[in-house]
Chains A and B, each alone.
Chain A
């Protein structure tokens, strides 16, 4: 294999791998921009992965067959949004500690998905999943065409969500409200912004994204479901939000960096380069920590009210 082919292989595998992380991180970014960190992302992804899978599994031999993937993505998104609202109820309305509630949601999501899977399916089984959709003309461009324009539709959608999220967050009144309640909820309240409602909305959006991220794992990548399919990616997504400085474009950069590093370490092993595999497996995580340590700008600060419940009756 030529070095160019090796690089193209690394990119063509690494870029699709970044999609689930990107979607989940974007969702988590909305949560955190509104002042809530949701460690339950992993659980929501698990439920999304299960619902994406179960729709494809149950309806693949029915009249709904052409739409099973779409159904799965919708179901995953709706369930994710509902779980986000449940999290909002616990943390925004009842003022539960966000970290503990997030861990609870994580366990709830993984446990429920696993239990439902066993009840309705039983054992591990495959589904056709999302097919690749080569974009006409663009996919024929030498070298870059097969890498960037030969993915499934959900992957294209995920990358389009980056500029869209940026626009929503920084150019729309709703985005301004989200940032306001995450920075200074009391000031936002005095400006007649309904803090609770905005936080509920942001958590629903975050849940929606995380649910779809899970569906991407079962429909777009593994094309199957298993209890531990998410395998810690929900937590990586939370870390990538910090890595990306709560900015959609930087989060995209972080997701790509992590995924391409992952693909690179697999290639290092496959090429038979004499390097202990234990270190190769660690490489993406270490790289993210190193990059984070050396590039973190002092100017990038997280939402000031991140993690703080808001009660308008309490005086600070």
Chain B
């Protein structure tokens, strides 16, 4: 027992000291295409920066952001941030790639970052990539165990980036516990078309799907569609923990989220160590880049067996015992 406690304490110390407080004031700016309260993509990064700012104090971490920035408009905002002496400028979205690469050439002393992307950028550009096959796998395990019809719906935005990784991880998770289950994968072709996502979810449910999942902002439309089957055993596993706090949460068995604190802290840490870019920062369970929560209020659908299987998958992924070959899924 004592030994276990010692190990846990030692781990806490190690984890707690992964990132040190900034030695001097660091100024971070973020540019987003949506808003910082969108309960999705942009809010997750905003919340992470705010959490890091709260941790170290606003005197050490200064933060500003610009919302509703189309890539063509974002250049002027980014240049203003450079002129004001910001150290790190994050274009939160792969659509800012070209802008960031151009800016990075003009301002070599500023650190730029954009994601999600697995590319290795120039010397002063970081990228970040959630390894979302990990959260997809756990959600897939739950879906595979919960389904009674053996038909599972996946409402995708586009087959690219972290959504592609999530989808493939999800399929592997389902297969690991229920090889007979069929995953109906379909795409809306848009990250923000809530109406089409709802329509797609209805199509899947009418085709027999009784557990659905989806990613990006549009997934909320699909969850709304699931919630319309109030008295029917149709369930949702989410890729955003904000879905656990909304009125439709009675359909959500569990949900994962990105915890961008790991990325933000890493950016600060590396910048202060003199590394301005040239790396891709991953987000995974091992570096606390994901949060995973069960919905205890969802009712008997979340059995102890389901929970145990999901927790085991999470533990195996975190420890490195289970690696997910998401690229093996076509």
Contacts and interface: CB of A to CB of B under 8 A. Distances in A.
Given A123-B37, A224-B220, A281 B200 contact: no
B203 A9 contact: yes
B1 to A, nearest CB: 45
A125 interface: yes
Interface residues of B, number: 42
Interface stretch (A81-89, A90-98, A262-270): A262-270
Contacts of A124: 38-40, 217, 220
**Centre residue among B187, B188, B194, B200 by max chain A CB count within 10 A:** B194
Given A125-B246, A270-B153, A118 B35 contact: yes
B190 interface: yes
Interface in A76-123: 114, 118, 122-123
B71 interface: no
Given A222-B194, A263-B199, A271 B206 contact: no
A163 interface: no
B36 to A, nearest CB: 10
Interface in A230-254: 231, 233
B274 interface: no
A199 interface: no
A262 B38 CA distance: 27
A189 B190 CA distance: 48
Interface residues of A, number: 35
Nearest to B194: A222
Given A126-B247, A270-B186, A217 B195 contact: yes
B194 A123 contact: no
Contacts of B311: none
B227 A122 contact: no
Contacts of A228: 192-193
A258 to B, nearest CB: 13
Contacts of B307: none
A232 B182 CA distance: 33
Contacts of A223: 198, 224, 228
Given A13-B199, A266-B199, A270-B204, A224 B221 contact: yes
A262 B188 CA distance: 10
B199 A262 contact: yes
Contacts of B190: 231
A1 B224 CA distance: 25
Given A223-B224, A281-B187, A281-B189, A1 B207 contact: yes
A272 interface: yes
A277 interface: yes
Contacts of B188: 281
A270 to B, nearest CB: 5
A304 interface: no
Interface of B: 34-35, 37-40, 43, 68, 153, 159, 182, 184-190, 192-196, 198-200, 202-204, 206-208, 217, 220-221, 224, 227-228, 242, 246-248
Given A9-B206, A13-B199, 4 more contacts: A123-B38, A125-B246, A272-B184, A277-B159
